[in-house]
Amino acid sequence: MGPGPSTVPQRILNALGSPTLGHLDPRYIEIMDETCVMLRNVFQTKNAITFPVSATGMAGMECVITNLMEPGDEVIVCVNGVFGNRMVDVMERAGVTVHRIDVEWGKIFSDEMIAEAVERHPKCKALGIVHAETSTGAHQPLESVSKIVHDAGMLFIVDAVTSLSGHTLKVDEWKIDAIYSGTQKCLSCPPGLSPVSFSEAAVEVSERRKTKVQSWYFDISMLKDYYKGSGKRAYHHTAPVNMIYALHEALAIVLEEGLEQRIERHAVMHKRLRKGLEEMGISYIPEHSLHTLNCVSIPDGVDDAEVRNKLLNNYQLEIGSGLGPFAGKAWRIGLMGHNANQANVDLVLAALRDCLN
């Protein structure tokens, strides 16, 4: 019940343990293609270049940045926690000039702040923002930000690691140009893959590059010949076959439940958890809280590590500690995917009550 990975259902573990096929085996290609189709459904996009990068969530960030950005490009990055900072770091490693805008951890960015930054830096190629800041539990609205970014002729890059299938996320309707996520959060799949999606505009930008993509492994000009699902498959790398099995099963579970119903379940469980925590005198830090990651203040006089150790040892419950300026001051309680149910919420509340008493 921490910030991830979330509990993996047995059905997905069974799929993970299926016999390994070759990564060019016709049956495996069929499973992989089905996985990409289901990913499009969950991202709510028709983007042809939508696939799981063969590495964990931050590889998705690297894939997006290295394909779209070139040395000397300028970009605006919105920073309100660890993962905004990480986006800055990856951009700078790619030789990009970063114009960062910061708000206090736990806060979100207003349209006025975004518009002002875009006006101040009109030569920027893109704006990057975190939809679900895992370090603070802040939930950033995207739709109006997208309009501001596109009106300025920039690409819109989004980190959705902790929101995909747990919060409303409409890639096509919100005109998101490049987005990345992870399997270990709301999809309740083991860590190991990073779903990404590139709009046609983003693909065109990558095809007009003057320099080679910095990373051979993440270069979509080659990866698309393996993942796109048309014509002869070009060997690129040995795909993590069993992880694709697991993701295929995880996405099937999402779509069987229904994406809207799943998102609503996360909202209902968040409200139940929030009501119970606030009745105990525990307050939320972000004004705009994620349903999937609940970041709360540790009550005065309470020892952070002692409570978390008791939860783990006495109840087999893991919750997350605070990061950065929130270290020792916050708990991060995950309600993601398979974990977002009434039994878990009530157990967390009862266990916390016992530990605090």
What average pLDDT values come out for the chain (357 residues) when binned by 10 residues?
A: 97 98 94 97 97 96 98 98 98 98 98 98 98 98 98 98 98 98 98 98 97 96 84 86 98 98 98 98 97 98 96 97 96 98 98 95
Q: Would 238 be classed as within a structural domain?
A: yes
Q: Would 3 be classed as within a structural domain?
A: no
Q: Would 2 be classed as within a structural domain?
A: no
| pLDDT value of position 163 | 98
- Of 256, 271, 303, the position where a domain reaches its end is 256
Cα 131–Cα 125–Cα 144 angle in degrees, nearest 5: 40
In a shared domain, residues 22 and 113: yes
Q: Would 134 be classed as within a structural domain?
A: yes
In a shared domain, residues 151 and 251: yes
Q: Would 331 be classed as within a structural domain?
A: yes
Cα 252–Cα 17–Cα 35 angle in degrees, nearest 5: 30
In a shared domain, residues 240 and 270: no
| pLDDT value of position 229 | 60
| pLDDT value of position 57 | 87
- Nearest C-alpha neighbor of 106 from the set 149, 142, 70, 137: 137
Q: Would 154 be classed as within a structural domain?
A: yes
Q: Assess contact for 207 and 221: CB atoms under 8 A.
A: yes
In a shared domain, residues 208 and 233: yes
Residue 113 φ/ψ, nearest 5 degrees: -65, -40
- Of 237, 256, 275, the position where a domain reaches its end is 256
d(CA 237, CA 310): 44
Partners of 321 in the β-ladder: 331
d(CA 82, CA 75): 18
d(CA 261, CA 7): 19
| pLDDT value of position 230 | 60
d(CA 18, CA 2): 28
Secondary structure element (H or E) that encloses residue 67, with its range: helix 57-68
What is the number of helices (H) and of strands (E) in the chain? 12, 12
d(CA 159, CA 337): 18
Cα 201–Cα 204–Cα 208 angle in degrees, nearest 5: 140
Cα 37–Cα 206–Cα 133 angle in degrees, nearest 5: 65
In a shared domain, residues 201 and 273: no
Q: Would 148 be classed as within a structural domain?
A: yes
Question: Cis (ω within 30 of 0) for the bond into 325?
Answer: no
- Of 202, 229, 256, the position where a domain reaches its end is 256
d(CA 129, CA 161): 12
CATH number, domain with residue 334: 3.90.1150.10
Q: For residue 50, what are the domain limits? A: 10-256
pLDDT digits (tens, 9 = 90+) for 58-72: 999 999 999 999 999
DSSP 177: S
In a shared domain, residues 74 and 103: yes
Q: What's the token pair of residue 15?
A: 């799929």
In a shared domain, residues 103 and 147: yes
The number of distinct structural domains making up the chain is 2
Q: Would 4 be classed as within a structural domain?
A: no
Pairing assessment for the beta strands 74-79 and 126-130 based on DSSP bridges: parallel
In a shared domain, residues 210 and 333: no
| pLDDT value of position 216 | 96
Q: In sequence order, which residues have a C-beta less than 8 Å from that of residue 149 and are 6 or more positions away? A: 114, 118, 126, 127, 155, 156
In a shared domain, residues 156 and 267: no
Q: Assess contact for 241 and 23: CB atoms under 8 A.
A: yes
